[in-house]
Amino acid sequence: MTDDAQKSSDPEPFGTVDQDLTEQLARYKDVREEIERLSVSATSQDRTVTVTVGPGGAVQNIALQAQALRLGPERLAHTLITMIQKATAEVNQEMAGLVQPIAPPGVDVTDMVSAHLPHIEIDDPDEHLHKKGIRW
């Protein structure tokens, strides 16, 4: 029997490749499901505003304490935006951590994500507004 005839009679010439692909697809599916379940909350320093986001920063919930309504529209808006940005940055970092193990060699997913995260200017809205000359 020639080598070509022997190769063509092999019942599973791509057996290990097929198995590797099946395992890789299963890992991708698992990661996708984990990402779909991700949820991160960020709470303001004064604990009056809590924002929860899901994958990609999709806002899932905003919880306001009664005191938050007394902050005034500018301060409340800024606090909400800051908490959304914080939670979004954190959920995106978690997503990157989940994807990194299945990324091609040499691809640093965490660095790629970090380069596109929003710059969070401040933790304290009072300080931010004071610097902008806004007082109440």
Q: What span, in angstroms and rounded, lies between the C-alpha atoms of 12 and 31?
A: 29
Low-confidence ranges of the chain (pLDDT < 70): 1-15, 116-136
> For position 117, what pLDDT does the model report?
65
Residue 37: count other Cβ atoms within 10 Å of its Cβ.
8
Q: Are residues 122 and 99 in the same domain?
A: yes
Amino acid at residue number 49: V
d(CA 59, CA 86): 12
Cα–Cα nearest to 130, from 53, 78, 85: 78
CATH number at residue 100: 3.30.1310.10
The pLDDT tens digits for 51-61 are 999 988 899 99
Would you state the pLDDT for residue 82? 93
Q: Among 27, 22, 92, 29, which residue's Cα sits nearest to residue 57?
A: 92
Statement to judge: residues 48 and 114 lie in one domain: yes
For residue 121, the model assigns a pLDDT of 55
Distance CA 92, CA 84 (A): 12
Residues 107 and 70 in one domain: yes
Residue 105 domain flag:
yes
* Amino acid identity, position 14: F
Please check whether residues 6 and 66 belong to one and the same domain: no
With respect to residue 50, please indicate whether it lies within any of the assigned structural domains.
yes
User: Would you state the pLDDT for residue 107?
Assistant: 84
- Within this chain, do residues 59 and 46 fall inside the same structural domain, yes or no? yes
* pLDDT for res 16: 80
Task: Please tell me the total count of domains within the chain.
Answer: 2
Residues 6+ apart with CB under 8 A from 63: 49, 50, 51, 52
In a shared domain, residues 77 and 127: yes
* Burial group, residue 20, by CB count within 10 angstroms (0-12, 13-18, 19+): exposed
Could you tell me if residue 121 is inside a domain?
yes
pLDDT value of position 115: 72
44 found inside a domain: yes
Domain membership flag for residue 59: yes
Residue 10 domain boundaries: 1-37
